[in-house]
Amino acid sequence: MKHISDSEHTINKRIHKLYPPEIAEKAVHSIIDLIFKYRSRITSKEYHLSHKDVILITYGDQVNRDHEASLQTLKEFLDSHLKGVINSVHILPFYPSSSDSGFSVVNYSAVDPHMGSWREIESIGADYRLMVDGVINHISQFSDWFKAFLASDRYFQDFFIEVDPTVDLSEVVRPRASPLLSEFVDNSGKIRNVWTTFSKDQVDLNYKNHRVLRNVLDALFYYIEKGATLIRLDAIAFVWKEIGTQCVHLPQTHELIQLIREVLHEVAPEVIIITETNVPHHENVSYFGSGDDEAQMVYNFALPPLLVHSVLHQNTKVLTSWAKTLTLPSDKVCFFNFTASHDGIGLRPVKGILSDEEIDYIVEKVKENGGLVSYRAESDGTQTPYELNCSYMDALTGPDEDDRIRMKRMLLTQATVLAMPGVPGIYFHSLVGSRNYHDGVKHTGINRTINREKFNADWLENELSMQGSLAKMMFDSYKRLISIRINEDAFNPFGTFEFLDLDERVFAVDQKCCGDSERIIAIHNFSNEEVECTLPDDILLPLCDILTSSCTNFSYDNSKEKQSRQIVLEPYQIMWLKGKV
């Protein structure tokens, strides 16, 4: 074996935890060879998260123009409208795919020719930090890997998980209502019952075969070579299977993520791993590991439904109580905060935070607002709401309510995300104020399409230039918030933070950085009422609202000849108060 480093010895140990000795030795050799292969192809570069990091979540074909690669059109849109405001772009799966808007990957190492080529991906990566998806729990049934499995190719014979349908799998946690096993007919006419966690077109990979791990790592290295500095591990909680268990959050899953990080960092230590685990909050945060060995960022999945709950009830008591429980295992990790994504608004993350009655209330209100609901199968055969399918703006406001209220509520939630400790992720549709796309659902029959509309670039440009349009008002207001945020060191994702009890209608976070010399107290009124509240005595005055460049939001106490600690917030008002510690 080639000379290996101390960290490569750690890789060796991790592999031996996952595989029996005779397999582990083969795995070690193939993965070390892979590391040496990419060391000659990848140049490591300095990259650290800061307050300037804001990640746009978008499809590669989100904006389109005739006779132009959609990834090129996307780059033109970014350069024209967002350069200098947003520095990072998460391009959702741009690989050839057979379903699920890209998440049924046919070929890990190719770009969907309808979107463009690796040239366009590298062009975006040259000007923006690039986040890509590692869709490594499953692969398309139409992939060459699965076709070779059905053709009884010896190399691929154990790439997938075949299970006798009489085996008791009732303990397995199900994120969908679809069957866990799907029938396929191989080339000899034999029926093969194969594990499919999410759909028949998304066939789970078998990581007990070390060759699966080696090939997946090869794909992830390739993305880094093409410019990726952030890698999102999709549906990673389900990646390892042991019959007789729940097959979610298994020790081997955490060991596998730690191994992936260790291997990638041998070549590119700047790469950031983000785990996507749409599960109850206490389970979700376990993917931080020790704070130095697993994900550097974890999706803050409880935040989107809790913000909806707070707006609908005009009360932040639950949101603030939950936020006060947020802790991090080290100063090297942080939350990835968001409200909307290509998926729906997950409800599992608030299990145990909101009561069943409170969740049911959100479900009914979102349905009244034109949204849809997707369900998952429980072990007893019942179905429970899994996610809300709705544009985030429409989840907050009824279809007949005034657009001014719609805007205020939406901006309130987005400002909260920008002020939360961590790195903000902004879905393209939130940025432009998209509404429910019911025509798309009618066309596809898939609930999630309601929040996945694609735009003609010229039409969108017209909307964003039209005075008074909802899209322009939302886009301009959102960009202004981001522009202010990225110039404030106090929003550093690794700073210290505290959540304040000012009023049950108000959500307030106090963030400090720079040796705790500077702070921003971000205050958000979640009600349609004027709210008067008092700042704690330990907060030094004066404070100035960086959103209005005003230091006059406080009343003056004439009797004591000093500035009062009373502040008054208009309905849905946001204040970001800057001062010294």
* Residue type, position 389, single letter: N
* Distance (Å, whole) CA 159 – CA 148: 10
Handedness of CA 351, 362, 384, 305 (dihedral sign): negative
Contacts of 447 (CB under 8 A, 6+ apart): 344, 372, 373, 374, 389, 441
HSE, CB side, 13 Å, CA atoms: give it for residue 219.
Answer: 21
Give phi and psi for 175, each to the nearest 5.
Answer: -85, -5
Compute φ and ψ for 511, nearest 5 degrees.
-115, 140
Catalytic positions, please? 234
Q: How far apart are CA 465 and CA 40, in angstroms?
A: 47
Task: For residues 511 and 531, give the distance between their C-alpha atoms in angstroms, rounded to a whole number.
Answer: 22
503: tokens are 């009023």
User: Which value, in Å, is the radius of gyration of the alpha carbons in the chain?
Assistant: 24
Output the CA–CA distances (angstroms, integers) from residue 290 to 287, 296, 335, 404, 432, in the order listed.
Answer: 9, 10, 15, 45, 38
Give Cα separations from 347 to 278, 305, 576 (angstroms): 9, 7, 29
Closest CA to 274 of 138, 91, 132: 132
Q: Which of 231, 383, 246, 395 is nearest to 312 (CA)?
A: 395
Beta bridge pairs of residue 518: 513, 580
Q: Is 494 helix (H, G, I), strand (E, B) or coil?
A: coil
